[in-house]
Amino acid sequence: MSFVTASVNTEKVNLLNFDRKGLVAFFVDLGEKSFRATQILKWIYQEDITDFNQMTNLSKSLRAYLNEHCTIIAPEILLEQIASDGTTKWVVEMGLGNRIESVFIPEEKRGTLCVSSQIGCALACTFCSTAKQGFNRNLSVAEIIGQLYVAQKRLGDKKRITNVVMMGMGEPLLNFDNVVAAMNLMMDDFTFGLSKRRVTISTSGIVPAMHRLNAVCDVSMAVSLHAANDKLRDELVPINQKYPLKDLMNACREYANLGPRKHITFEYVMLQDINDSIQDARALVKLLKNVPSKINLIPFNPFPNSDYECSSIEIINRFKDILYKAGIVTTIRKTRGEDIDAACGQLVGKVKDKSRRHLKLQAVSSANAT
């Protein structure tokens, strides 16, 4: 099945923008029964039908209305790159010269899709290449779920996507409503049917949104931590200046205490001589006390004009041993897709920066050089 690209029928209502709750409201407003939502979900996501005329259990009049007023628009894959380790990166067109990237990571017993939530990112984390591009806009529900939609079709039946991580370009919790709706679609029994434990949302620490998420969506959570004290984290993850570690840890404890066996995964990028000392490891142990935790240590992935280097494997292993001996489950993330710039922190796409932050950064760089 080929999909209509975003340049066609843009004034029509894109049904990929609705989760089940949204579709129910849409059809009820039309005077239709609420079960039409389930029928549409099954046609689109299970039967691979996007032509309303082929949706035979809909009335003739409803099909005519949908043809006139609605459409099903999936994002368009412009470029596919496959790394030596089998990791696949797709560059996806988002219109007006903007592109995002999503990445599929195959493993023996699972396949993980890394999905973007924004075009660019506004958070300016200093070790992330995405942050260097600035920010353009939030992605719509259709553009988020569409990444999973087109990726699975490109992969076919031989490679199944079993896990989704909202760890691509952007800060998911700054696009709250669209991300939640897209995750609801991922977990719906009539779409992809993913377990809530196989859908993970990553955040740099948007504390009010973390509290809000508790009430509306139960998925796994990963927190981009990267430092165990406010002074360093203010530098590496500037949003910490607004939501410091004390507030972040309280939000993490609240989220983790919602259900049995629930924990927070903390992401910690290993930066040589920045956050990788014995003292940093011990401070991290102290910080995470009473927070059900797993830690992913991420070897830093270099990118052009980066100011950092990756910690040595000896230092990373020493760091891991300290955490492990303190009773914290700790893994070292295997770098995947590095040869196609698909590794963690390397996604760049193509962003028309509305924030103009790249100009500010260039001015600061020029001033420092003189």
Structure tokens at 135: 């920010």
Q: Residues 160, 107: contact at Cβ < 8 Å?
A: no
Handedness of CA 125, 265, 16, 77 (dihedral sign): positive
125, 128, 252, 344: which is the annotated catalytic residue? Answer: 344
d(CA 110, CA 223): 22
Facing residues of 360 across strands?
Answer: none
Residue among 352, 280, 358 at smallest CA distance from 319: 280
Structure tokens at 46: 């299970």
Facing residues of 271 across strands?
Answer: 310
d(CA 103, CA 45): 20
User: Kind of pairing, strands 13-14 and 70-71?
Assistant: parallel
d(CA 341, CA 168): 12
32, 76, 101, 143: which is the annotated catalytic residue? Answer: 101
Q: How many CA atoms lie within 13 A of 254 on its CB side?
A: 15
| Angstrom distances, CA of residue 71 to CA of 3, 66, 98, 99, 334 | 10, 7, 22, 22, 41
Judge whether 344 counts as a catalytic residue: yes
Phi, psi of 129 (to 5 degrees): -70, -30
Would you give the distance in Å from CA 128 to the centre of its chain? 14
Angle, helices 20-29/176-187, rounded to nearest 10 degrees: 100
d(CA 297, CA 332): 5
Residue among 92, 94, 93, 87 at smallest CA distance from 102: 92
Facing residues of 310 across strands?
Answer: 271
d(CA 358, CA 320): 35
Residues annotated as catalytic (active site), given as ranges? 101, 344
